[in-house]
Amino acid sequence: MNISGRITAQDVAKLAGVSQSAVSRVFTPGASVAPATAAKVRAAAKALGYRPNSLARAMITGKSRIIGLVVAYLDNQFYPVAIEKLSHALQAKGYHVLLFMASNDPGEMDRLMDDLLAYQVDGIITASVAISNDVTRRCADAGIALVMFNRGQPESGLSSVTSANALGGRKVARFLIEAGHIRIAHISGWQGASTGRDRARGLIEGLAEAGLSPHAMVDGMFNRDTAAAAARDLMDAPEPPDAIFVGNDHMAFAVMDALRGMGLRVPRDVSVVGYDDVPMAAWGAYDLTTVRQPLMRMVDATVETLLAQIDEPLRPAQNVEIDAPLIQRGSARCVDGDDDAGV
């Protein structure tokens, strides 16, 4: 036994009757090892209370098996669920996840890069975080794969995975027009983000196909208070909208609360449609018609793209868009014209 009292891979190898390299392979995800050897090594490790030293292995292999997950904010109900799914998917592939909180400040990701490099992460997933040219260069120089989740920057040369946001906006336009709406307003997501811009663009294109244009457009900034104030202003106007497409569910809930506070009925007085289909959207209190982000397909595509780039650093960037269905519930007038008193 090691005189320091600390159990080492050499101790495990001696008890199991195998080489130290065999012990290393057993505790290296993806490494090839005979089942019988693996069983002996794991039994010896359990008997001795051995825990592999991930940092030491990283120094030897050059791979930390750590993924940095950078998220801008968690108040939007979509992201806690997305983080959970991403973490589970990466852990199933033998990776550990380090969560970093950022802001939408353009320089925030630049500052976080020092921490990400210090932890020697193998890859980075960013969720609704802007990426500067400097961050792109530093990742390339360090050989770190990076994939943007739920946001894209086509000009950056980075891989991204999103729902088909523009197509989702067009689906909302067609749905509301078919239900008889003609004064369709949009409280958009932040126009500094591709998701906000693309959903707005899709709505505009969908309305144009029917010879219409948005009744009004307001940047809701992906912020509940901003969206609620915008809804009150829209409905206080001399000619209020008869439908509001809101850039995400997080804002849509605030919009519905604001409308109810004004004594208005949804959808009798005004239809409301969101985007994301977070679990709260199905709650009876909101019963929100919304575009469903295909979360598990987005997660799987993100992990697959990231791991492929880790294995092949020169692999070309991929920009994946996944179709998102419109989920009809009670917050919007139905196509058949049914518009009960609403809530």
* Higher-confidence position of 117 and 201: 201
Distance between CA 323 and CA 163 in Å, rounded? 6
pLDDT, mean of residues 57-67: 69
Residue 323 has pLDDT above 90, yes or no: yes
β partners of residue 186: 217, 245
What residue spans define the domains of the chain? 9-52, 66-162+295-322, 165-294
Tokens, residue 343: 């809530």
CATH architecture of 66-162+295-322: 3-Layer(aba) Sandwich (3.40)
Question: Is the pLDDT higher at 104 or at 181?
Answer: 181
Which parts of 27-73 fold into alpha helices (H)?
Answer: 35-48, 54-61
> Could you tell me which residue, 169 or 5, shows the higher pLDDT?
169
Q: What is the tens place of the pLDDT at every residue in 147-176?
A: 999 999 877 889 999 999 999 999 999 999
Q: Which tops the pLDDT comparison, 48 or 240? A: 240
User: pLDDT-based confidence at 343, cuts 50/70/90?
Assistant: low
Ramachandran angles phi, psi of 41, nearest 5°? -65, -45
Amino acid residing at 297: R
The predicted pLDDT at position 73 comes to 79
pLDDT tens digits for 297-316?
999 999 999 999 999 988 99
pLDDT at 297: 98
Mean pLDDT of 96-123: 85
pLDDT score of 327: 98
Residue 53 pLDDT greater than 70, yes or no = no
Mean pLDDT over 93-111 rounds to 84
Q: Which pLDDT score is estimated for 161?
A: 97
| CATH topology (fold) of 165-294 | Rossmann fold (3.40.50)
- For residue 97, the SS3 value is strand
pLDDT (0 to 100) of residue 1: 46
* Closest among 5, 18, 276 to 150, alpha carbons compared: 276
Predicted confidence at residue 224, as pLDDT, reads: 97
- Say if residue 179 is exposed, middle or buried (CB neighbours under 10 Å; 0-12, 13-18, 19+): buried
Q: 3-state secondary structure string, the chain? A: CCCCCCCCHHHHHHHHCCCHHHHHHHCCCCCCCCHHHHHHHHHHHHHHCCCCCHHHHHHHHCCCCEEEEEECCCCCCHHHHHHHHHHHHHHHCCCEEEEEECCCCCCHHHHHHHHHHHCCCCEEEEECCCCCHHHHHHHHHHCCEEEEECCCCHHHCCEEEEECHHHHHHHHHHHHHHCCCCCEEEEECCCCCHHHHHHHHHHHHHHHHCCCCCCEEEECCCCHHHHHHHHHHHHHCCCCCCEEEECCHHHHHHHHHHHHHCCCCCCCCCEEEEEECCHHHHCCCCCCEEEECCHHHHHHHHHHHHHHHHHCCCCCCCEEEECCCEECCCCCCCCCCCCCCCC
Distance CA 322, CA 313 (A): 24
What does the pLDDT average to over 130-136? Answer: 85
What is the average pLDDT score of the chain?
Answer: 90
Q: Using 50, 70 and 90 to split pLDDT, how confident is the model at 3?
A: very low
Sign of the C-alpha dihedral computed for residues 179, 182, 188 and 193 taken in this order: positive
Distances from the Cα of 14 to the Cαs of 2, 44, 56, in angstroms?
11, 9, 20
Element holding 158 (H helix, E strand): none
Please name the amino acid found at residue 34.
A
Please check whether residue 147 is in contact with residue 79, taking contact to mean a CB–CB distance below 8 angstroms.
no
Which of 243, 331, 328 is closest to 291 using CA atoms? 328
Same fold? 66-162+295-322, 165-294: yes
Which of 63, 42, 181, 207 is CA-nearest to residue 121?
A: 63
Q: What is the rounded distance in angstroms from the CA atom of residue 324 to the CA atom of residue 330?
A: 19
pLDDT-above-70 percentage for the chain: 92
Strand duo 289-292 + 326-327: pairing: antiparallel
Inter-CA distances, 99 with 57, 224, 307, 327, Å: 22, 24, 18, 31
Over residues 8-51, the pLDDT tens digits come to 888 889 999 999 888 878 877 667 889 999 999 999 988 988 87
pTM across the whole model: 0.83
Q: Is the pLDDT of residue 84 over 70?
A: yes
Place of tokens 């239809």: 271
